[in-house]
Amino acid sequence: MSRVAIVTGAGSGIGAAAARRLAAHGLELVLVGRRADPLEAVCASLGGRGATIALDIGEPDAPARVIEETLARFGRIDVIVNNAAMIETGPLESFSRDSFERHYAVNVAGPFFLVAAALPSLRESDDAAVVNISSSVGSIPKPGNMLYGSTKAALEYLTRAWAYELAADRIRVNCVAPGPVDTPIHATYSDDLAATYADLARRIPLGRMGHVDDIAAWVWFLVAPESRWTTGNVIHVDGGQVLGLPEAAGG
């Protein structure tokens, strides 16, 4: 049977593109997100290679439910793409305790407990791979993005820690850290998308925002059998954003 991949946040943006890419390479897909309709729409585009699970991955019982339902449907799990995330922006004093806890529940605890719950199945796979989706903001402190950025830095740390710990089980763990990509996520924190996009594009040496397929391609590379000797990496797919702006380089 084909390898089975769970993709969280698969109803839109990078997650939807990654799911389509993995399905095109023959994997069976389990699409996870809160809203059923977008998941069903993506599922319908996969040529019968998908199932959907509508839930909030930040809820304590959600990771175990995803694993149980996946095993009930497909009987195996080979790949996990931890892609779902939330972002709120603002100065330090603007964040409520609830917002702090939601960021960590969705962006860190969700991936953490999903991988933990999947371990018995991943250990049985001949070709297990975890791909975490971080952000360039996980490495580049950006005013206003501290809470979101800190969750992405945590996910990058977990990538390396899991890669080390799970190498004995031949489970590979890598991370893609995208720069700014045109997806619905920006509308969740910005009231002026045109100004936000202009500001984001200005920070990218290659001169444009990313496309979801720029990221989905790397998700597939890291899942592909050809990456079987690659683990513990954070791949920056960001048009060179982590290099910094030329005027910030000094010298």
Ligand X SMILES: NC(=O)c1ccc[n+]([C@@H]2O[C@H](COP(=O)([O-])OP(=O)(O)OC[C@H]3O[C@@H](n4cnc5c(N)ncnc54)[C@H](OP(=O)(O)O)[C@@H]3O)[C@@H](O)[C@H]2O)c1
- Give the interface with ligand X as residue ranges (CB under 6 A): 8-9, 11-15, 32-35, 38, 56-58, 83-86, 106, 133, 135, 178, 180-181, 183-185
Give the span between the Cα atoms of 41 and 53, in whole angstroms. Answer: 13
Buried b (16+ CB within 10 A) or exposed e, 66-103: bbebbeeebeebbbbbbbbbbbbbeeeeeeeeeeeebb
State the catalytic residue, choosing from 104, 148, 189, 197.
Answer: 148
Task: Show the DSSP H helices in the chain as ranges.
Answer: 13-24, 36-44, 62-74, 97-104, 110-124, 146-166, 193-202, 212-223
We find the least distance from the C-beta atom of residue 250 to ligand X, in angstroms, to be 26
We find the least distance from the C-beta atom of residue 203 to ligand X, in angstroms, to be 12
Contacts of 27 (CB under 8 A, 6+ apart): 2, 3, 4, 5, 49, 78, 79, 223
Closer Cβ to ligand X, 85 or 128, answer by number:
85
* Nearest to 230, CA basis, from 127, 83, 118: 127
Closer Cβ to ligand X, 155 or 163, answer by number:
155
We find the least distance from the C-beta atom of residue 96 to ligand X, in angstroms, to be 17
Closer Cβ to ligand X, 125 or 203, answer by number:
203
Q: In this structure, how many other beta carbons lie within 10 angstroms of the beta carbon of residue 247?
A: 6
C-beta nearest to ligand X: residue: 13
Closer Cβ to ligand X, 106 or 166, answer by number:
106
Paired tokens of 198: 């202009």
148 annotated active-site? yes
We find the least distance from the C-beta atom of residue 246 to ligand X, in angstroms, to be 22
- Which residues form the catalytic set? 148
